Chain A
């Protein structure tokens, strides 16, 4: 944000009363264009839409559920229906806030946001993606949602930020993931035999041809998302694949199913409980790739 501010005087940063030990430099840089909207997300979103109507590009920051689900109707009516460049920034998509508990998690946000008119959802994969994503969002004159998380660290090279990126080739199955949780497959021994793709912008308009070809070759598809499969990657990919399959395929959907035990832990713990990481993931992959 700081890097872009000098060239984009239309930028305004609005925080939902968060940012201690994190946003102080943004506050200093943005000056009067840094606004603490208070713990008042409904007003903040609508106000941001009105500022966008007047030529500003407001970036509204909060913990993911508070900037997406709490003010949902304000996002739909005031930002999306009017197609205004309001940029939502949600920290901790998925189980990012870990032991903070279910109220601070967001495993419905991609589905909820991609459903809205004119809205594009940006899901960075690596830490390096974030600045590029912000650059793309600045050029996009429509409403956007940026889903932030701790960036993936993998041993394969990752292309510059784009909607579709192939991480690597492989013959046994195709993996499509969104967000850093994909690293949990990239960093296993299974990765060597897998063709791995990351998708980072929603909604999806179409699938890359070589991705379709890969799925039709291996007849096996694995999806991984720190989000519910309903409304998420699984559901939207299913729609797009229907017209492209030459014969039936097997699908392993790895998705966030909420709180099976009703207990809480850190992000990795929740991933493991949902077979998105740890032994559960290994068992699911072993079984599927037999």
Chain B
């Protein structure tokens, strides 16, 4: 990835985060931490990886604001659409809607569906001999769902290399830390045992995500990328805390905006 592409991704991620933080502020809503966790991953897939015809399935539908914001950044949703988030008579519910928006092939929100959706896309592309990819972004908490592992078995068995599975590994779930609720580690070993090409990346760093992307291209088996992330990143009060999943920002909003601006400027400097 050259400096220009990197800078473009940094700018887009900054815009995406600023937009969804505004949405959460307007709605006085929670799930801020979930969107901050996945912001760079979803930005990278949308603007740095996927091609025309590919699909992104945001299986962690509770981070819908990040998806809406990415779609707005791509011109699919207007800023007027964005203003309807969480309001009555809106398509932009707290979880992605059914059959209404280009870029959202399936409604998600009930965890454990997304990887199976990607498996179906992968199988369909294979049968139709189409050179397309299905990107599935799951949380780590939803790896508790048995259906996720059913999908993993299926993808590996049918060698659906056109499915790319990105795991937002922030190690927090609904009511505790993943390792306290139902431990997932060693997650890499588990996924390897299922037959995946397992990569790890810093889920907030585009250079690291790019490195993973390059390794996917030559893989003979499907890939799962464990993206190390921090839930509520940039919300210093609640970074890596469960509170960032539930609480609205209230008077913290300005501080978070200041922090993402600081990070944006710092990263830009590094890239140059």
Contact = CB atoms under 8 A, between A and B. Distances in A.
Contact of A48 (B106, B120, B157): B120
Contact of B116 (A35, A43, A53, A83): A43
A33 B153 CA distance: 19
Interface in A56-95: 56, 73-74, 77-78, 81-83
Contact of B151 (A43, A78, A83): A43
Nearest to B109: A77
Question: Interface of chain A, helix or strand or loop or mixed?
Answer: helix
B154 A47 contact: yes
B119 interface: yes
Interface string B154-165: 100100000000
B127 interface: yes
Nearest to A47: B120
A83 B121 CA distance: 17
B116 A50 contact: yes
Interface in B74-132: 98-99, 105-107, 110, 112-113, 116-121, 123-125, 127-128
Nearest to A76: B110
B151 A50 contact: no
Question: Interface of chain B, helix or strand or loop or mixed?
Answer: helix
B127 A33 contact: yes
B147 interface: yes
Contacts of A47: 116-117, 119-120, 123, 151, 154
B154 A40 contact: yes
For the side of the interface on B, what is the size category? 20 to 34
Contacts of A37: 154
Nearest to A41: B150
Contact of B127 (A32, A48, A81): A32
A46 B116 contact: yes
B211 to A, nearest CB: 29
B125 A43 contact: no
B158 to A, nearest CB: 8
B186 interface: no
B117 A46 contact: yes
A74 B99 contact: no
A175 B36 CA distance: 62
Contacts of A45: 116
Interface of B: 98-99, 105-107, 110, 112-113, 116-121, 123-125, 127-128, 146-147, 150-151, 153-154, 157
Interface of A: 12, 32-33, 35, 37-38, 40, 42-51, 53-56, 73-74, 77-78, 81-83
19 contacts: A33-B127, A38-B150, A40-B153, A42-B112, A43-B147, A45-B116, A46-B147, A47-B151, A50-B116, A50-B124, A51-B120, A51-B124, A53-B121, A54-B124, A54-B125, A55-B128, A74-B116, A77-B107, A78-B116
